[in-house]
C-alpha cells in the first residue's frame, strides 16, 4: 500500500512522541451519592471478591465507569438483590462499563458475571494480561459468563469490563466476581421473580462457536505510523468518530521486526497510544509489509526465525489481530509466501484466536493469480484466514469509476474465496471479505471521492463485509492539496471520509 517515502526526519533524529490527548469517548462515572443500602446480592457475598459494588446494590454505579451516557443501575430485572447494571448499546457504542482493580503479579484469577441480552461480553485487560474475553449470543434469560486469566510478572492492576454489541439493544449485568484462583463462583439459581427459563445455561447457549452478527472491528483504516509528526491515534479517533485502526507498517531490518526500519516493536513503541484506543473500547491491527519495505517473510530464511519475529510483535502489543500487506514483487515470491503461511500456522497455535488478514492487490475482476495462490497457500498450511482484504485502488485504468470498481472488486473477491472455501456459507464468505480503497486522488490520478465511500458503505451494510479500511488516516485528517503521501487532493473537510466509513457497524 502506498507509504510516505519522506523519512528524513526518522533517519536524522528520533521524533518526539506526540502527547496523547484525552479521548472524547473516555469513560465517565455516573452521578450518584454514596448509598447505605443493605448489600445482599450474590456477588457481594462471594468470598475474596476483589470488585467494589459487584452486585450494584449501592443503587449507583459507584466504582464502575461506563462510556458516556451508556451506563445506569436499574432495579428490575435483577439477577439477585435489588439492582443490576444496564448498558444502553447503540449503533456506534457497545456501552462498555469497567472497573480497575488491584491484583497480584503471577497469579491466576477467575472472573464471572450474570448477564442478559444479545451478545454480551466479559473480559479483563491489563499490562502483561492476555484478555480472557468471553461472550454469549444471549437470550431473554440470565446466563452466567465465566473465564480465567493469569497476571504477568509486573501486573499490579486489571480493568474488568462488560459490554454489548453494536445495534443489539441494551444488556443487563449483575453479580460480577473477580477472585484469586482458577475456579469461578458456582452458578446459582436466579430469584423466583425471574422466568422459569433462566436456569444455568448449557454450554451450547453460552460462548458457542456462532460468530456475532457484526464483525468485531468493522472499520479499521490504515494509519501510516511513519508519518511526521507521529500520528496521534486518540485525536484521529475523536475527529473521525472511529474506534479502531490498522497500524502500518512493521517491516524488517535483516530478520528483525522494525517499525518502518526505525523503531523496535519489542520496546513497545506507540503502545501508550494503543492502550488508550483499547481503553476507549476499540482495538488495533498491526500490519506487516507495505509497498516501501521488506516484509519479514522475505528477510527471514526459516519458518522458525520468521515465527519468532511475528511472535515478538504479538507479545509486545498483546495483539488479537495481525495484517499482512503483500504487494509489489512480494506477491509473486512463492518461497516467502509459503514460509509466511507456515509461520502463521505456528503463530496461531501459539496464540489461539489470533485473527489473520491478508491484504492483497486487486482488480475489479478480482485477485490476481498470485493473490489467489497466497490465500490458497495459507489455507493449505492450516492458517485460519479471518479476512482477505483487497486494495481497491491504483487500477491504472483511465476514466474508471472507482466507486463502482471497489464494489465490483469486493464481489469478485467473494466469488474467488468461495472457490477456495466451498464449505462456507455465503454469509461466512462475505465476513471474510474486506475492502480498502485509497482516498481521493490515487497514484494513477484516478479519483475515489465521498460518493464512492458512501456507495461502499451501503454495499458493506447489505452484505455484512468483514472489514472496511482505507488508505490513509493522515491524508483524511489533513484534507489538503499537495504531495499524495499526505493529501487527498480533492475538496473535503478534515475526517470527512472517516465519518462516512464510521457509519458501517458490521
Tell me: the pLDDT tens digits for 370-405? 999 999 999 999 999 999 999 999 999 999 999 999
Task: Identify whether the C-beta of residue 282 lies closer than 8 Å to the C-beta of residue 244.
Answer: yes
Q: 96 and 75: one domain?
A: yes
Q: 200 and 260: one domain?
A: no
Q: 269 and 131: one domain?
A: no
The 3-state secondary structure of 21-72, one letter per residue: CCCCCCCECCCCCCCCCCCCCCHHHCCCCCCCCCCCCCCCCCCCEECCCCEE
How many domains does the chain contain in total?
A: 2
pLDDT band at 181 (very low <50, low <70, confident <90, very high): confident
327 noted as active-site residue: yes
- d(C-alpha 265, C-alpha 250), whole Å: 8
Query: Crossing angle for the helix pair 334-350 and 303-317, nearest 10 degrees?
Result: 50
Q: E strands, 35-166, where?
A: 65-66, 71-74, 84-87, 97-102, 108-125, 134-150, 157-163
Q: 200 and 233: one domain?
A: no
Q: E strands, 164-267, where?
A: 171-180, 222-224, 245-252, 257-259
392 located within any domain = yes
Q: 479 and 360: one domain?
A: yes
Q: Domain of residue 106: give its range.
A: 43-205
CATH number, domain containing residue 79: 2.60.120.260
Task: Identify whether the C-beta of residue 177 lies closer than 8 Å to the C-beta of residue 111.
Answer: yes
What is the Cβ-side half-sphere exposure of residue 404, based on CA atoms within 13 angstroms? 4
The last residue of one of the domains, among 169, 185, 205, is 205
Q: Per-residue pLDDT tens for 189-199? A: 333 333 222 22
Q: 190 and 275: one domain?
A: no
Q: 300 and 152: one domain?
A: no
Selecting among 57, 327, 441, 472, the annotated active-site residue is: 327
Residue bearing cell 509489509: 289
Residue 106 CB neighbour total at 10 angstroms: 11
Which H or E run includes 454? helix 450-463
Q: 197 and 224: one domain?
A: no
Q: 201 and 228: one domain?
A: no
Q: Per-residue pLDDT tens for 112-159? A: 999 999 888 898 988 777 778 787 867 779 999 999 999 988 899 999
Q: 156 and 242: one domain?
A: no
CA-closest candidate to residue 359, choices 336, 338, 328, 333:
328
pTM, to two decimals: 0.62
Residue range 449-463: mean pLDDT, rounded: 97
Which H or E run includes 360? strand 355-363
Task: Identify whether the C-beta of residue 163 lies closer than 8 Å to the C-beta of residue 151.
Answer: no
By mean pLDDT, which of 49-53, 93-97, 293-297 is the weakest?
93-97
Q: 175 and 252: one domain?
A: no
The last residue of one of the domains, among 140, 173, 205, is 205
What's the longest Cα–Cα distance across the chain?
A: 73
Q: 490 and 350: one domain?
A: yes
Amino acid at each position: 500500500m502506498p507509504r510516505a517515502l519522506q523519512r528524513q526526519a526518522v533517519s536524522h533524529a528520533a521524533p518526539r512522541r506526540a502527547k496523547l490527548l484525552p479521548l472524547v469517548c473516555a469513560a465517565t462515572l455516573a452521578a450518584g451519592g454514596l448509598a447505605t443500602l443493605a448489600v445482599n446480592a450474590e456477588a457481594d457475598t462471594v468470598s475474596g471478591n476483589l470488585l467494589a459494588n459487584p452486585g450494584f446494590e449501592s443503587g449507583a454505579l459507584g466504582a464502575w465507569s461506563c462510556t458516556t451516557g451508556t451506563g445506569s443501575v436499574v432495579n428490575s430485572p435483577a439477577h439477585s438483590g435489588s439492582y443490576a447494571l444496564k448498558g444502553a448499546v447503540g449503533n456506534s457504542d457497545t456501552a462498555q462499563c469497567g472497573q480497575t482493580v488491584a491484583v497480584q503479579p503471577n497469579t491466576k484469577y477467575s472472573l464471572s458475571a450474570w448477564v442478559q441480552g444479545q451478545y454480551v461480553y466479559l473480559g479483563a485487560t491489563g499490562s502483561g494480561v492476555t484478555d480472557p474475553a468471553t461472550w454469549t449470543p444471549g437470550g431473554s434469560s440470565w446466563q452466567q459468563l465465566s473465564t480465567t486469566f493469569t497476571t504477568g510478572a509486573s501486573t499490579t492492576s486489571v480493568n474488568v469490563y462488560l459490554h454489548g454489541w453494536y445495534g443489539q439493544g441494551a444488556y443487563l449485568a449483575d453479580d460480577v466476581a473477580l477472585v484469586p484462583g482458577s475456579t469461578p463462583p458456582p452458578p446459582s439459581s436466579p430469584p423466583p421473580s425471574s422466568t422459569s427459563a433462566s436456569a444455568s445455561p448449557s454450554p451450547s447457549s453460552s460462548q458457542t462457536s456462532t460468530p456475532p452478527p457484526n464483525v468485531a472491528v468493522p472499520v479499521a483504516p490504515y494509519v501510516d505510523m511513519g508519518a511526521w509528526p507521529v500520528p496521534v491515534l486518540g485525536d484521529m479517533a475523536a475527529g473521525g468518530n472511529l474506534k479502531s485502526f490498522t497500524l502500518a507498517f512493521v517491516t524488517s531490518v535483516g530478520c528483525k521486526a522494525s517499525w518502518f526500519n526505525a523503531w523496535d516493536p519489542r520496546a513497545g513503541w506507540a503502545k501508550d497510544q494503543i492502550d488508550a484506543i483499547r481503553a476507549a473500547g476499540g482495538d488495533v491491527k498491526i500490519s506487516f509489509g507495505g509497498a516501501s519495505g521488506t516484509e519479514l517473510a522475505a528477510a527471514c530464511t526459516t519458518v522458525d526465525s520468521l515465527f519468532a519475529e511475528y511472535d515478538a510483535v504479538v507479545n509486545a502489543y498483546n495483539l488479537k489481530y495481525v495484517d499482512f500487506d503483500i504487494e509489489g514483487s512480494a506477491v509473486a515470491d512463492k518461497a516467502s509466501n509459503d514460509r509466511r503461511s507456515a509461520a502463521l500456522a505456528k503463530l496461531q497455535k501459539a496464540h489461539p484466536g489470533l485473527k489473520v488478514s491478508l491484504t492483497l492487490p486487486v482488480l475489479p475482476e478480482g485477485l490476481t493469480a498470485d493473490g489467489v495462490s497466497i490465500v490458497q497457500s495459507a489455507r493449505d498450511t492450516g492458517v485460519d484466514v479471518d479476512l482477505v482484504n483487497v486494495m481497491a485502488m491504483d487500477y491504472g485504468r483511465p476514466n474508471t469509476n472507482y466507486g463502482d470498481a471497489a464494489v465490483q472488486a469486493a464481489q469478485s473477491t467473494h466469488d474467488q474465496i468461495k472457490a477456495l472455501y466451498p464449505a462456507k456459507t455465503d454469509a461466512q464468505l462475505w465476513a471474510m471479505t474486506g475492502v480498502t480503497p485509497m482516498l481521493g486522488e490515487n497514484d494513477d490520478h484516478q479519483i475515489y471521492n465521498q460518493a464512492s465511500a458512501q456507495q461502499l458503505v451501503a454495499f458493506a451494510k447489505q452484505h455484512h463485509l468483514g472489514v472496511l479500511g482505507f488508505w490513509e488516516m493522515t491524508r483524511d485528517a489533513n484534507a489538503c492539496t499537495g504531495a499524495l503521501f499526505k493529501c487527498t487532493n480533492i475538496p473535503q473537510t478534515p475526517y470527512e471520509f472517516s465519518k462516512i466509513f464510521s457509519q458501517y457497524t458490521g
